[in-house]
Amino acid sequence: MPHRTLNVPEHGMIDAYHAELAARGYEADPAQEAAVKRLQQLYSELLGYKVARQSMLRKLFNKPVEPTSVYFWGGVGRGKSFLMDCFFDAMPYQRKRRVHFHAFMHEVQNDLKTLNHLPDPLQTVARRISEQVRLLCFDEFHVSDIADAMILGRLLTALFERGVIFVMTSNYPPDGLYPNGLQRINFLPTIDMLKERFSVIEVDYGTDYRLRTLEQLEIYLVPDDETAAARMNEDFFKISGFEGEPGQIEVLGRQLTARRIAPGVIWFDFAALCGGPRSQNDYLELAREHHTVLISGVPVMSAAMSNEARRFTWLTDALYDHGVNLTMPAAPPPADPY
């Protein structure tokens, strides 16, 4: 049934969720039920809010009540990004954006540097964002950088004041954000604000969607045997049309060694890509610059390789978000590192 005023489905989030489940051959996960219901509620609230804001009577007499933003969290692979994508695609807003949180903060920090001649550049950044976006969806919300931690509270407050509504996914509850961070005591008001202004929903203990995401990513597996290197050489040439050369690329000011480089295609050893200190922004930048990534030497990751496993998770998230193809040896899939 369509919404009584807007020509859109009344139960758009739930409809989109079940349609996407059917398209992927999934079954509804009971662990996601509360999140699905809350996102449907937000969908309805946003539609009602849109109608109320367009009503001349409401404009004359009172301001409509703003919808409550949503923050849902849970372990890796619980389908949080899947749920947010269903909601985002269903929501009939033009001024909406879905973005990886670290990519968003990278943009904000760059804008602040550009505007540092102004008395309060953060307010200018918030105004510009709010002029473009009414609904802002953050995937993988997490704070690990002190520069982000010190401005996040003011930024979110400034966006709230300008009517921006949020949907956020995170692996952590609000109280678990910025753990052991420098000057964390100054970040605690931001945590309190998140708990006060968001509906906080836990999504956990259901189907592991991380492996399903890896299945959906365009992954081309080659046998993990003595011929793997030769096969990947062949694949590299077929994909790129070039033999490629070993070399280094610069990613956010740091050098990264590659086995082969060609326009739009790059081949790494796992150790070079995930074995050392890398950030999510590194992988996002890599995904933006290439349409295909090849990785050799991918191990079966044990608990002792939790750092490598976390970086591999960041990498596959970035590749998936940007539609990048991935070729790697067909070793057993990495276990959930968390």
**Domain ranges in the chain?**
12-202, 217-329
For 29, residues 6+ apart whose C-beta sits below 8 A from its C-beta are 79, 206, 207
As a whole number of angstroms, the distance between CA 138 and CA 128 comes to 17
* Proportion of the chain above pLDDT 70, given as a percent: 82
Q: Which residue has the higher pLDDT, 241 or 99?
A: 99
- Confidence grade of residue 152 (pLDDT, cut at 50, 70, 90): very high
Tens digit of each residue's pLDDT (9 = 90 or more) over 45-61: 888 776 555 554 555 55
pLDDT interval class at 299 (50, 70, 90): confident
More confident residue, 50 or 333: 50
Reply yes or no on whether the pLDDT at 209 is more than 90: no
Select from 109, 94, 91, 112 the least CA-distant residue to 41. Answer: 91
Residue 268: what are its φ and ψ, rounded to 5°?
-120, 155
pTM: 0.65
Give me the percent of the chain exceeding a pLDDT of 90: 35
Per the model's pLDDT, the better-predicted residue between 73 and 55 turns out to be: 73
Residue 64: pLDDT band (50, 70, 90) is: low
Residue 38: which residues within 8 A CB-CB, separation 6 or more?
70, 72, 199, 201
pLDDT confidence tier of residue 30, bands split at 50, 70 and 90: confident
* Helix, strand and coil in the chain, % to nearest 5: 50, 20, 30
Report pLDDT for 330: 62
The torsion region of residue 226 among left (phi > 0), alpha (psi -120 to 50) and beta comes to alpha
Residue 208 clears pLDDT 70, i.e. is over it: no
Please tell me the predicted confidence (pLDDT) of residue 337. 41
- Longest Cα pair distance anywhere in the chain, in angstroms? 75
Length of the chain: 338
Mean pLDDT of 81-93: 89
Residue corresponding to tokens 């964390």: 184
Average pLDDT value for residue range 243-261: 87
**Residue 76, pLDDT score:** 65
> In the prediction, which pLDDT does 2 show?
43
Q: What is the pLDDT of residue 102?
A: 81
* CATH architecture observed for domain 12-202: 3-Layer(aba) Sandwich (3.40)
Task: Determine the pLDDT at residue 58.
Answer: 54
Residue of higher predicted confidence among 24 and 249 = 249
How confident is the model over 268-290, as a mean pLDDT?
A: 88
Please tell me the least confidently modeled range out of 153-157, 203-207, 256-260, 322-326. Answer: 203-207
Mean pLDDT of the chain: 82
Nearest 5 degrees, angle CA 323-CA 329-CA 330? Answer: 95
Closest CA to 129 of 152, 107, 153: 107
